[in-house]
Amino acid sequence: MGNPRDKEGKERVFSGIQPSGDMHLGNYLGAVKNWVTMASQYDCIYCVVDLHAITVYQDPKTLQDKSREAAALIMAAGIDPEKSTVFIQSHIHAHAELTWLLNCLAPIGWMQRMTQFKEKSEKQKENVSVGLFGYPVLMAADILLYDTDLVPVGEDQKQHLEFTRDLAQRFNSKYGATFIVPEPSIPTVGARIMGLENPERKMSKSEGGEGNTIYLLDPPDKIRKKIKRATTDSLRDILFDESRPGIYNLLILYELFTGDEREVIEARFKGKGYGDFKAELAEVVVEGLRPLQSRYKELTADPTYIDTLLSQGADRIRPVAERVLAKAKQRMGVG
């Protein structure tokens, strides 16, 4: 299928993050760090997906604050809002409207195979909302609205990306070429950062105790304490060995923050104990997050500053969403 976007120059990148909790190292290393790298090469749009967050209950005031915080953290991580677009999903109505059009096309059978829905609904039982079931359709709408070529995400979003591609192809084959079929961009290292206390499960906003997750705004002493207490094993050697999930995950953190080769890292810690390694890792993480934390402080010193940038971001990109939505509606014979 030909590319329906009249492309001049750069390819388009779109990605999103939920403001439903505090941003953590998994979000940063699996996604946001790559958003920053891609920003110099592509036309990038990064979205704080508050409509996704409300698929489970959120305290309204906290949600507003967390949405602003997430946007500020994206910028503090190195996204320049003048060069890339950063906006809040609910500020552009087209997301909800395209979701409805796509809802009418998404087979229930596809939805029922979504593993994230199965996991989340297992925990909530009878409180599961229709919105949570439809979550992947809203995500597809986010991506398809902007003629997106590439979607940088962590590994846990891979199935949602496949769903988005399938849905775009289904639309295009029923109604004619309308949407670009996007490609996922998943990092080879860091796509699945694991919890510190439970390295068998991914680091997440909602799972595990406080010590399981390092948040981007954690003060240095908290980071040191969490790394010191991280689960390892009863062996000694500090090696990149996937069969030893605890130490392997910590080594991945070290690799991603230093950018050093694996052999160099292993040689550095040869003959040393876990205690020494953890102490050094803690400093690497603390120093790695320091610039982000200080930029965050500067950016949020005036609370209205981020709001202004966010409304400018939405204003700049809204016409793209409206054009794609209008095309989809016209193809379906509505509006």
Beta strand 183-185 pairing with 85-88? unpaired
Which residue lies nearer to ligand TYM by CB, 15 or 58? 15
Among 24, 42, 289, smallest CA distance to 154 is for 24
- Of 33, 66, 202, 226, the active-site residue reads 202
For the CB of residue 142, give the shortest distance to ligand TYM in the complex, in Å.
Answer: 4
225 is catalytic: no
- CB of residue 182 to ligand TYM, shortest distance in Å: 9
Q: Which of 61, 83, 118, 120 does the annotation list as catalytic?
A: 120
CB burial of residue 98 (10 Å; 0-12, 13-18, 19+):
buried
Per annotation, catalytic residue among 158, 205, 222, 329:
205
- Closer CB to ligand TYM, residue 114 or residue 177? 114
Interface with ligand TYM (CB under 6 A): 14-18, 26-27, 30-31, 49, 52, 139, 142-143, 151, 153-154, 156-157, 160, 191-193, 202-204
- For helices 94-103 and 303-332, give the axis angle rounded to 10 degrees: 40
CB contact at 8 A, 57 and 35: no
Query: CB pairs under 8 A, 24+ apart, for 169-172?
Result: 169/1, 170/105, 171/102, 171/105, 171/328, 171/331, 172/1
Active-site annotation holds for 205: yes
In the complex, minimum distance from the CB of residue 217 to ligand TYM, in angstroms, rounded to a whole number: 16
Q: Give 142 or 269: the residue with its C-beta nearer to ligand TYM.
A: 142
Q: Given the complex with ligand TYM, which of 30 and 81 has the nearer CB atom?
A: 30
Q: Kindly tell me which of 132 and 239 has the beta carbon lying closer to ligand TYM.
A: 132
Q: Which one-letter amino acid corresponds to residue 134?
A: G
Residue number with the smallest Cβ distance to ligand TYM: 30
Smaller CB separation from ligand TYM, 269 or 296: 296
Answer yes or no: 202 catalytic. yes
Rounded to an integer, what distance in angstroms lies between the CA atom of residue 110 and that of residue 88? 28
Bin 208: left if φ > 0, else alpha if -120 < ψ < 50, else beta.
left
Alpha helices in the chain (DSSP H): 25-27, 33-39, 50-53, 60-76, 94-103, 108-112, 115-124, 130-144, 158-175, 220-228, 245-258, 262-268, 274-299, 303-332
Buried b (16+ CB within 10 A) or exposed e, 131-155: ebbbbbbbbbbbbbbbbbbbbbbbe
The answer to whether the beta carbons of residues 38 and 150 sit under 8 Å apart is yes
Which DSSP state fits 32? I
- CA-to-CA distance for 139 and 110, rounded, in angstroms? 14
Nearer to ligand TYM, 24 or 278 (CB): 24
Instruction: Return the active site residues.
Output: 120, 202, 205
